[in-house]
Amino acid sequence: MSDISTLGYVVLNVSDLDQWESFATDILGLQVGQRTDNSISLRMDEREQNILLERGTADDLAALGWEFDTFEALREYVDELRAKDVNVIECDGQVTQSRKAERVFYCIDPEGLRHEFFTGPKIAPLSKPFRSKVLVSGFETGRLGVGHTFCIAQDYPGAVKFATEKLGLRLSDYIRDSETFPGVTVDATFLHSATGRHHSIGLAYMPFPKKMHHLMVQVKSLDDVGLAFDRVRKAGVPVVMEIGHHPNDGMVSFYCAAPSGFAIEFGWGGLVIDDSTWNVRTYSQLDDWGHQQPGK
């Protein structure tokens, strides 16, 4: 099967664009590429857009943008998905333009989550380099993509099956943790794409009112995680989990509440998978250390 290269972008449906603009730029260190009445393009690197905020009432993940290196690879993938009875449709010109890409297709999965498949992301001109107001390093993007998402599935086994058997995402590992939350076992599956960020999507079932629990963005220095944590606390942004370390992707990160209610994981040091040597494991805890919920 033609392979997804990486998770190239995400689209978020947000109700308060003004609050998001200051959170994204002043706290997280992203840059506004373009703002319209109903959207904001957020930049993390030389691309014109890595995250698209669209005005709406859902305050949730609106689409995952799966990237292909060439149109031929994308075309082949779309044909294969259709052969597997997935209803894949090409996006119209307006949507394609809003994604700042050459060609975009989409499907809706059984959970109602919109997956987009694209090629040809627009690169900003040299005269408009990425500049963060606050980062001392930069975002870890490029071949590894925008970051990762952790999504809630009402039919968790069904969602894993769709992601692996239909979308062709590869198994990274599992976490089955019955200790972190008393009386609740968290069962999560982590999946990666060809370029190997440890996971581009994690799937689990847990009581949570949104499709997306968190979006992770990764920086190139540990100092940037600490500095961002200081900015979060100084600005009074709610901390969801303090700094800690995950056993599976090796990420040192903290979680804070985005203006839409889901969380942003801000991390450093995530593993990159080499499929020729990778062993799938099952971990029994979500965290090696830290990631305490404030006040607990």
- Minimum gap (Å) between residue 225 Cβ and Fe ion: 13
- Minimum gap (Å) between residue 133 Cβ and Fe ion: 24
Residue 201 within binding range of Fe ion, rule CB under 5 A:
no
Radius of gyration of the chain (CA): 18
- Cα–Cα distance for residue pair 67/59, rounded to 1 Å: 24
Candidate residues 30, 152, 201, 216; the one interacting with Fe ion per rule CB under 5 A: 216
Residue 173 within binding range of Fe ion, rule CB under 5 A:
no
- Give the angle subtended at the CA of 261 by the CAs of 108 and 49, to the nearest 5°: 60
- Minimum gap (Å) between residue 215 Cβ and Fe ion: 8
Helix (H, G, I), strand (E, B) or coil at 271: coil
Nearer Cβ to Fe ion (150/262): 150
Residue 224 within binding range of Fe ion, rule CB under 5 A:
no
Nearer Cβ to Fe ion (30/81): 30
Residue 265 within binding range of Fe ion, rule CB under 5 A:
yes
- Which x/- pattern, by CB under 5 A, does the window 136-155 give for Fe ion? --------------x-----
| Residues near 232 by beta carbon (within 8 Å), at least 6 away in sequence | 27, 239, 254, 256
With beta carbons less than 8 A apart as the criterion, state whether 279 and 232 touch. Answer: no
- Minimum gap (Å) between residue 199 Cβ and Fe ion: 8
Select from 162, 166, 147 the least CA-distant residue to 61. 147
Select from 162, 175, 140 the least CA-distant residue to 253. 140
- Cα–Cα distance for residue pair 85/253, rounded to 1 Å: 39
Nearer Cβ to Fe ion (63/201): 201
- Minimum gap (Å) between residue 104 Cβ and Fe ion: 26
Cα–chain-centroid distance for residue 14?
A: 15
Candidates 38-46, 124-132, 208-216, 279-287; binding stretch for Fe ion (CB under 5 A): 208-216
Residues of this chain that interact with Fe ion (CB under 5 A) are 150, 216, 265
